Chains A and B, each alone.
Chain A
C-alpha cells in the first residue's frame, strides 16, 4: 500500500537509437561469431543479414516515433536483441543439423517469421490509435479466445505433434492458435475485471486477515479453471493450461489487490494438476521425468524419457560460467534444441554469464510493461499492460524452470528466442500493445493542458471531447467508470 509519485523518464529518444544500434550489434555479432566458430570465417552474407535487420528495426523505430512518440525507448531495443540472439542460435543449430544430415532450414523460416511479425506488430501500432478501443471488444475477445483454443480439436485442420494436439495446419503454414489466444484472453480478462472488480474486491467476509470472496463470486475463476483443465485434458498441453490460468489469477490480483484470490487460484491449480497428473498418462510421464530424471529406466525410456532434459542439463554444465562460445559447443545433441531447449543451447554456448544477461533483458522488458501499467491512467490499460507483462514473465519462468528442472517440463516456447512462428508473432503483437500503452502512460498529464474554463454553474466541459458525465447519470452505465479519464485523454 504505497503511492507512487511519477517521475518522467526524459530524453529517451537519442538514447533509444543508441540502444537499438547496440541491440542490432548483439544479434549481428552473434551471427558473425557463429560463422567464425564453425568455419573460421565470417559468413558471406553477414552484410545482407545485418542490412535486413537494420532496415526492419529502424523501420519499426520510425513507426514508433510516428505513431507512439512518447512510448518507452527501451522496449524495442530489448526485443530486437532477444530476437537477434534467438536467430543466431537457430542458425548455428541449423549448420550442425545440416552437417549431420538432419532436417534443417529452421533459420530461414524463423527469419521470415521475424520479418512478418515485426511488420504485423507495427501495423497493429498504426491501426490501434488508442488501447481503450480494445475494451469495446471484451466479449468478442472471449469468443475469439475460445475459438482459437478449440481450433486444434477440429478434425481436418487440427494436427497432433508429439502427443500434444495444439497445432492447426492450413496449407503449408502451421500455427499454434493458443499463442494468439493469450493476447485475446488478456484483452477479455482486462475488460471483464475492470467492470466487475468492485464486487470481486470488496464483497465477502474477513477470516484471519484474509478477505474471502463470497461463494457466488467464485463463478468466473471456476469457469477459467475448468477451461484450463479442459485444455490440459483434451489437448495434453500442460504449458498453455498453466499460462492461461496463471494469467487470470495474476490479473485478478492486479484488479482486486486481494491475496486471497492468489491463494484460491494456487490451491485450485495444484488440486487440478495433481488429479490430472494421476489420470492422464502424457502428463504423468512429465511429472515422472521431472522427479526421477536421473534414474536409468526413466532416462532410457523410448518415448517420454528424461534423455532430453538430462542432456540439456549436461549441456549447460559443460558451458560453465562463460560458455563454450558461439558454434563451439554441442547443443545439437539435445532433441528440439532449437525450440523447447533453446535456453539450454544458449546456456551451453554463452554460459551462465550470457544466460543471465538474456534473463535480465527479459526482466527489463517485463519491468517496462509493469511500469507502463503503473503509469497509464485508465483501469483497462493498467490491467492489460500488467497482464501482458506478467504473461511474458510467466512464460519465461515456466520454460527456464522446466529446462533447469525446477518445475515439470512443459511444451512452451521461450518468447522471442525459440523457433516458432506463432510464438514470435504473438510476442511481437504483445510488444506492440505494450508500446501503445506505454505511449499513453508517458504522455504528459492531460490535466496540465486542459485549458477549458469552467462555465458558470460549475458543470465542466472539455475541449474536443464529450463533456464529463455528471456523476448521477454516469454511475450505472457499464463503461461509465472510465469515462472521465477517457474524455481527458482526448485533450491534446
Chain B
C-alpha cells in the first residue's frame, strides 16, 4: 500500500474519531446551550419571574383556564424558580423530599403545603417554626390562595401565576 494511502487512512481515522465526538455533542446541543440558569445572587433589577419560562406546557386538564398554572418564587435565595402546577399537592420545605426544596435556615424541613381542592388552591402551614404568612396574616388552618397573592415562607416569597 502506498505511503499516501496509509497517510490518508491515518488522518481519516482521526476525522472519524472527531466525527463521533462532534455528533455526540450535536445530540447534546440543546442540553448544553438550552439550559436556562437564573443567577440567584443577581440584583433585583430584571423581571426574574418573567425571564424564566414555563418549561413545560401546563396541563389543561381542569378545563377552567383561569386557574394558576405555575408557582413562582419572587423573592429570596430561590428567586426565579418556577414550578409547573399539576393536580398534585406541592410540599415546600428544607427536606430534600419536598417538591420545592428551600435552602433557607428560616424554614422548616416540611414547612407548608399547597393543594388543590376543586378549582381552588389552598395553602396550609405544616407546623413550621417561623410560620407561613399570607400578606400580613399568619396561616393557621388551610386558607384559599388566589393568583398573585404573595406567600412568605422564611426568606422566600412565592406566588401562584397563570
- Measuring CB to CB, which residues of chain A are less than 8 angstroms from any residue of chain B? 1-7, 9-10, 12, 15-16, 18-19, 22-23, 25-26, 29-30, 33, 36-37, 40, 73-74, 77-78, 81, 194, 198, 202, 322-326, 328, 350-351, 353-354, 357-358, 360-361, 364, 367-368, 371, 378-379, 445-454, 456, 458, 460, 462, 468, 470-472, 474-475, 480-486, 488
B40: contacting residue among A1, A81, A462, A480, CB under 8 A? A1
Q: Quick one: which of B58-76 are within 8 Å of A by CB?
A: 59, 61
Q: A448-B56, A482-B97 are in contact. Are A471 and B127 (CB under 8 A)?
A: yes
Decide if B56 touches A379 in the complex (CB within 8 Å): no
Decide if B24 touches A7 in the complex (CB within 8 Å): no
Q: How near does chain A come to B15, taking the closest CB pair, in angstroms?
A: 9
Q: How near does chain A come to B81, taking the closest CB pair, in angstroms?
A: 5
Smallest Cβ-Cβ distance to B90: which chain A residue: A447
B 71-87 to A, binary, CB cutoff 8 A, 1 in contact else 0: 00000011011101111
- How far, in whole Å, are A446 and B88 apart by their CA atoms in the complex? 9
- How far, in whole Å, are A192 and B11 apart by their CA atoms in the complex? 49
- How far, in whole Å, are A215 and B21 apart by their CA atoms in the complex? 47
Cβ-based interface call for B41 (8 A)? yes
Decide if A452 touches B97 in the complex (CB within 8 Å): no
Decide if A7 touches B35 in the complex (CB within 8 Å): yes
Decide if A481 touches B96 in the complex (CB within 8 Å): yes
A-B contact pairs, 28 of them (CB 8 A): A1-B39, A4-B35, A5-B53, A18-B23, A25-B16, A26-B16, A26-B17, A74-B24, A78-B24, A322-B10, A325-B13, A354-B14, A357-B17, A357-B20, A361-B20, A361-B21, A364-B21, A367-B28, A368-B28, A378-B96, A450-B86, A452-B88, A454-B116, A454-B117, A458-B117, A460-B88, A471-B93, A472-B126
- How far, in whole Å, are A37 and B6 apart by their CA atoms in the complex? 8
Cβ-based interface call for B133 (8 A)? no
Decide if A2 touches B40 in the complex (CB within 8 Å): yes
Contacts A458-B142, A486-B97 supplied; 14 other A-B pairs, CB < 8 Å? A3-B80, A5-B52, A7-B34, A26-B20, A74-B24, A74-B27, A354-B14, A358-B17, A361-B20, A364-B21, A367-B28, A371-B31, A445-B84, A471-B93
How many residue pairs, one in A and one in B, have C-beta atoms under 8 Å apart?
193
Q: Size of chain B's interface in residues, with CB distance under 8 A?
A: 66
Decide if B24 touches A1 in the complex (CB within 8 Å): no
- How far, in whole Å, are A37 and B3 apart by their CA atoms in the complex? 11
Contacts of A486 in B (CB 8 A): 97
Decide if A451 touches B40 in the complex (CB within 8 Å): no
Contacts of A36 in B (CB 8 A): 1, 6, 9
Cβ-based interface call for B99 (8 A)? yes
Decide if A482 touches B96 in the complex (CB within 8 Å): yes
Cβ-based interface call for B55 (8 A)? yes
